[in-house]
């Protein structure tokens, strides 16, 4: 069943987590590590980190893996990825970004910087649970010159909570037959929940913009 699902998903979406895991074959653990590492801070935010870990935990027996092993490897990969992002931010800062870039857009860095300014080092934990934002927050921390020992502490905390939390969610959901037999539907739910904070933020910004315009017109 899972093989058929993977083939169907692969043809529809090359970044489908189920298809990715099956395509990794015996290298599934290494594949998980690479995806998490890249998404965490190597400036490519469009990989299915959340859903990949949840799916890996659900399919762990079929993949020949254990959930604790997935959690440990994902945690180390997440912490290492953030380390790269912090180093890039510390060394290059905003020079890596341009307004019209396809991935390294200045607007994405500015969004991460606002997030970091609002929550401080805790953004390294909170940002972990927001797709796209988690890729740029370590870069913003490096650009802002966050003291390295503080970065290391918050980075380790954020990486651990996120990776272990996603795997734990997969273990829990995998125990529900309805979920385990309909992973494709689960992935839609995970993606929807993951992007919800971004959608809410966009709507709030638009509302604030409309409020500002209305206030200016009333003067």
The total domain count for the chain is 1
CA pair distance 214, 194, nearest whole angstrom: 32
Domain carrying residue 98: 2-218
Range 90-100 average pLDDT:
80
Q: Let me know: does 82 contact 124? Beta carbons within 8 Å.
A: yes
CA pair distance 12, 14, nearest whole angstrom: 7
Q: What is the pLDDT of residue 4?
A: 37
pTM over 0.85? The answer is no
CA pair distance 3, 174, nearest whole angstrom: 17
Query: What is the per-residue pLDDT across 142-171, written as a single tens digit (0 to 9) for each?
Result: 888 889 999 999 999 999 999 999 999 888
Residue 115: pLDDT above 60?
Answer: yes
Label residue 3 by pLDDT band (50, 70, 90): very low
């Amino acid at each position: 069943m899972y093989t058929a699902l993977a083939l169907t998903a692969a043809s529809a979406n090359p970044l489908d987590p189920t298809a990715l895991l099956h395509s990794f074959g015996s290298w599934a653990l290494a594949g998980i590590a690479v995806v998490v590492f890249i998404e965490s801070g190597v400036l490519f935010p469009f990989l299915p980190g959340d859903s990949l870990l949840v799916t890996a935990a659900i399919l762990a027996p079929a993949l020949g893996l254990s959930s604790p092993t997935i959690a440990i490897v994902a945690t180390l990969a997440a912490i290492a990825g953030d380390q790269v992002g912090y180093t890039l931010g510390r060394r290059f800062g905003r020079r890596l970004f341009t307004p019209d870039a396809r991935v390294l857009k200045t607007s994405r860095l500015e969004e991460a910087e606002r997030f970091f300014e609002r929550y401080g080092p805790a953004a390294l934990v909170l940002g972990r649970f927001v797709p796209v934002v988690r890729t740029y927050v370590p870069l913003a921390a490096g650009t802002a010159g966050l003291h390295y020992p503080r970065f290391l502490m918050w980075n380790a905390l954020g990486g651990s909570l996120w990776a272990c939390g996603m795997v734990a969610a997969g273990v829990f959901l995998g125990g529900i037959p309805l979920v385990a037999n309909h992973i494709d539907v689960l992935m839609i739910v995970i993606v929807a929940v993951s992007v919800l904070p971004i959608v809410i933020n966009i709507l709030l910004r638009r509302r604030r913009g409309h409020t500002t315009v209305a206030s200016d017109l009333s003067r």
